[in-house]
Structure 1
Amino acid sequence: MTPHNHDTASPDLTQETFQELLQEKLRAAVRLTLATVLEEEVEAYLQAGRYERTPQRRDRRNGYYSRGLGTGVGQIDELPVPRTRKGHRTQLFKRYQRRQQELDAAICEMFVSGASMEQVGQVMESLTGQAPSPATVSRTFHSLESEYKVWKERQLSAHYHYAFADGTYFTVIYGDKGHKMPILAVVGINLQGEKEVLGFTTGDRENQHAWNDLLDDLKERGLQQVDLWISDGHQATMNAITSRFPNAQRQRCVLHKINNVLGYIPKQQQTVVKPELKAIFYHDSLEKAQQELAAFCVKYESLYPSAVACLQRDIDACLTFYCFPETHWRTIRTNNPIERLFAEVKKRSHKMAAAFRNEDSCLLLFYAVTRTLQFKRVSMPRNRT
């Protein structure tokens, strides 16, 4: 008996090579199965076998055409599809189309939930045998366009207790270079205490025309009354709100005011001054807040006149929240609800900056993220109408 020579044994297959061979064999098996299903389907439709003469025959064969099909084991290329003279259409591809739509939706949801391209690729490869290409990712986002169009044209409630207006910047890619894209947005709290994104658009927050256009759009969609608008101190934002909603009260974000005032105080003194400054906006009554304000101005007017002048500028608008239910003060004295919205969109979109290729894709991705967010409800007192 010839002894076995260990030195000449075939090298072991690597795990990667084994997986590739296995996938190849599986694809061949799936291709054969699908081809058989297509043949059986067309024979059932014809009500006759190949070359069979029968009065029940409904149609005749007319050769084949080839097409590809994405499956759970990867792409099946050159699948032979029977043709008939009357143009019979197989139901097999409709079933796979529904499956592909479900996969597209899954890709989109994973991305807007903050998953990276690598993470999405790993998940989709385990499901379909191949990772999504950049073209596939782009297609899944554009599948949201019709949904986004309906959303941005939807009717709004006529009356909101509160509305937050602010702007920010997102990075878009033009010619492989990053550029800042300004976004303006409005978040509302309705009579039931539910927060919702009312609308958003591209535009600089220093541009009053852009704000006018956004607010006009909200009014055209049914918004008539807002009890209190919350915004930062940008003049364009305030002018647009006053112009479009002259009867609404206005609240300036106190965090923006505090930071602006601290900008006039030496850094080494800010840790001393900040608690006193912050106390103005965190008392339990308007009267105590005004007393704290007066004491602060007396104490620091000679030391930091520019800081005190900054604080006194439009100070009444910084204290408006005291006129509303105390349980709402934490929500309405700052622009935090809309700031958190911007932060969440940036966080989730950071790993997919390449999706921001132009203004339209920026708005579409902003919508794709906001549609998945869950906002905390605000409890409304029963005596408010």
Structure 2
Amino acid sequence: MSITRGTAALASTRGSAQEGDHRLGVAAASHHGGQNPPSEAVEVPLRELLGDEVLDLLLAGSRDGKGGLRLTGEGSMLGQLVKAVLERGLEAELTAHLGYGKHDQSGNGSGNSRNGKIAKTVQTGVGPVRLAVPRDRAGTFEPVLVPKRAGRVSGGLDDMIISLYAHGMSVRDIQHHLRQIYEVELSHEAISNITDAALEEARAWQSRPLDPIYPVVFLDAIVVKVRDNHVVQAKSAYLAIGIDTDGDKHVLGIWLAKTPLDAAAAGESARFWASVMTDLKNRGVRDIVIACTDGLPGFEDAVHAAFPHTTLQRCVVHLIRNALRPVARRDRTAVAAELKKIYTAPTAEAAFDALADFAASPWGAKYPQAAKVFDNVWDTFIPFFAFSPAVRKLLYTTNSIESLNYQLRKVTKARGHFPGDDAVVKLLWLAIINIEDKRARQRLANRAKEGKRNDQPARLTEGQRTFGWREALNELEIAYPGRIK
């Protein structure tokens, strides 16, 4: 899923055939007013189009007081180039609006004509740019490139703001960054409006239809601080990652519970997980074969209320952590080695025997709670023993969603608290997209380096490809016949 950022690209002008092709890199001959461009545009390097004289003037005008280059900011080299391109595009728009070129005799008696220019300063990705915007005498000209009453040219500036926001910067931090680096002054409301444009896409993503079957779904929650009921409170943001039948992982949604007026926080609860399951069902999910979770009390009933045939798999990593919690630090290595015999046993029966041996051992006598951790959830601990060791690695831990949560926590940690639930969903969704963009670039780089096939998409939908999925799918179909289609 892509993010729609900005409203108008730099070169999207209402040009006509009379004005030719205004894209950079097209031969200068195609810019002659009143002439049609050639059928095949000849690409010319920008340096050749500008020439040494123009480049020398830009270079001389971009020196700062110490002789260094000032590439961004008011009056900088890039600012002057943006100014030239925007003014050229505005002139082309006015020509298309009037229907004749400047100084063209066909405009005599047309009823409308050029009427000078008006000064205007707009904020861009390279700093403030002062423009001379052309006008028409009838006042009917409505520029598209730089709309009336628009204080900025969105282009790269909106992309920059959304990227900074997705990396965890607050609105105030973004204001300071733009002012310090680019000399751009944007109000708190303007930046919020830019990021709010992503909220509409996040809501559409949140309600999108889902696949009817997910062989494996990982469920977890992270805690964020949100202003709710006029008080900053700790709330759980519920997340679900599903592996579809093709082996692609997808974030299925982000959910936040409303804090009751008489409660101090909206902690993770089985009741709200039940509403999450209902939402997944309403969006088209008919069956979840295996749900991996860290084991919230009452969670099994919450899942089975919507998906009665789903098999629950307790996260083994969480069980190990819980079992080692009462163990003294000096004994943890030895106890962990004994516990490993339980979850690495070849079968469920062998695992039960290993648990019995541990409980009867000196370590089990010294730390009986460690054995009880596995014994209390035995039915939801053993499902992964029905598969081969390679497939068990996929099912026995919620590391897939823990990895995502770790990266999301880095983004939310810098924010302190959020003004509302929408702000949480907006930031988490942008962060998920940002994380996937990083993974996509890494996948492309690895393919180029290793010379692997390149016919598979590098960028998936908020997720990544599951390794060894073909073997896992075959074993799941055998273990759950007729469930996966």
Q: TM-score, normalised by structure 1?
A: 0.78
| Cα offsets for 1:164-187 (capped at 9, x unmatched) | 11111124479xx97533111111
| Aligned counterpart for 1:188 among listed residues 232, 242, 255 | 242
Counterpart in the other structure of 1:326: 389
Choose the corresponding residue for 1:209, options 271, 285, 288: 271
Tell me the distance in 1 between the aligned counterparts of 2:470 and 2:153.
44
Indicate the SS of the match to 1:143.
Answer: helix
Query: Aligned residue for 1:103?
Result: 157
Between the aligned partners of 1:314 and 1:273, the Cα distance in structure 2 is 19
Question: 1:38, 1:92 within 8 Å by CA — same for their partners in 2?
Answer: yes
Partner of 2:399 in structure 1? Answer: 336
Task: Give RMSD over aligned pairs.
Answer: 4.3
- State the alpha-carbon separation in 2 of the partners of residues 224 and 40 from structure 1: 55
In 2: Cα distance, 1:302 partner to 1:25 partner: 75
Q: Residue type of the partner of 2:205? A: W
Partners of 2:199 and 2:276 in 1: CA distance = 20
Partner of 1:308: 371
- The aligned counterpart of 1:7 is none
Contact 1:231 1:238 in 2 (8 A): no
> Could you report, residue by residue, the CA deviation over 1:358-384 in whole angstroms, capped at 9, with x for unpaired residues?
211111111112234242414123643
Q: Corresponding residue for 1:70?
A: 123
Who is 2:18 aligned against? Answer: none
Note if contact 1:172-1:179 (Cα within 8 Å) is conserved in structure 2. yes
Name which of structure 1's ranges 32-41 and 185-194 shifts more when overlaid on structure 2.
32-41
> What CA deviation, in whole Å up to 9, does each residue of 1:123-165 have, x standing for no partner?
9789966487765553332221222122111111111111111
1:298 aligns with 2:360: yes
Give ranges in structure 2 of 5+ residues lacking alignment. Answer: 1-63, 258-265, 437-462, 478-483
* Amino acid of the structure 2 residue aligned with 1:85: A
Asked whether the equivalents of residues 202 and 425 of structure 2 are also in contact (C-alpha less than 8 Å), the reply is no
Contact in 2 for aligned 1:108/1:140 (Cα 8 Å): yes
Residue of structure 2 in register with 1:146 after alignment = 200
Asked if 1:243 corresponds to 2:305, the answer is yes
Shift of 1:240: 0.8
Whole-Å separation in 2 of the counterparts to 1:238 and 1:189? 20
> Which residue is equivalent to 1:198?
252
Kept in 2, the 8 Å contact 1:279–1:292? The answer is yes
* Aligned counterpart in structure 1 of residue 219 of structure 2, from 156, 165, 182: 165
In structure 1, stretches of 5+ residues that fail to align are 1-12
1:281 aligned onto 2:376: no
Structure 1 residues 248 and 30 mapped into 2: Cα distance closer, same or farther (>3 Å)? closer
CA distance in structure 1 between the aligned counterparts of 2:95 and 2:296, rounded to whole angstroms: 72
Richer in strand (by share): 1
Q: What are the equivalent positions in structure 2 for 1:28-67 lying under 5 Å apart?
A: 42=94, 45-46=97-98, 47=100, 56-59=109-112, 67=120
Distance of 1:222 and 1:115 partners within structure 2: 35
Contact residue 154 and residue 221 of structure 1 kept, 8 A: yes
When structure 1 is superposed on structure 2, of 225-234 and 19-28 the one drifting more is 19-28
> CA separation in 2, counterparts of 1:151 and 1:119?
27
2 CA distance for matches of 1:242 and 1:297?
Answer: 32
Partner of 1:380: 470
Give the equivalent residue in structure 2 for 1:88.
Answer: 141
Instruction: Give the number of equivalent residue pairs.
Output: 371
**Cα drift, residue 226 of structure 1:** 1.2
Contact 2:249 2:465 in 1 (8 A): yes
Question: For 1:76 and 1:22, how far apart are their aligned partners in 2?
Answer: 8
**Identical-residue share of aligned pairs (%):** 23
Instruction: Give the Cα separation in 2 of the matches to 1:319 and 1:252.
Output: 8
Q: Residue 344 of structure 1 aligns to which amino acid in structure 2?
A: Q
From the two aligned structures, give the one with the greater helix fraction. 1
Task: Tell me which of the two structures has the higher relative contact order, counting C-alpha pairs closer than 8 angstroms and 6 or more residues apart.
Answer: 1
Question: In the alignment, is the contact (CA less than 8 A) between 1:264 and 1:304 conserved in 2?
Answer: yes
Equivalent residue for 1:15, pick from 66, 72, 86: 66
In 1, distance between residues paired with 2:178 and 2:72?
20
Cross-structure match for 1:272: 334
Q: CA deviation at 1:303?
A: 2.9
CA contact (8 A) 2:249 2:464 kept: yes
TM-score scaled by length of structure 2: 0.63
Structure 1 residue 331 displacement after superposition: 1.9
Q: Give, in whole Å, the separation in 1 of the partners of 2:417 and 2:67.
A: 31
| Matching residue's letter, 1:347 | K
Change (3 A) 1:365 1:116: closer
1:220 partner letter: N
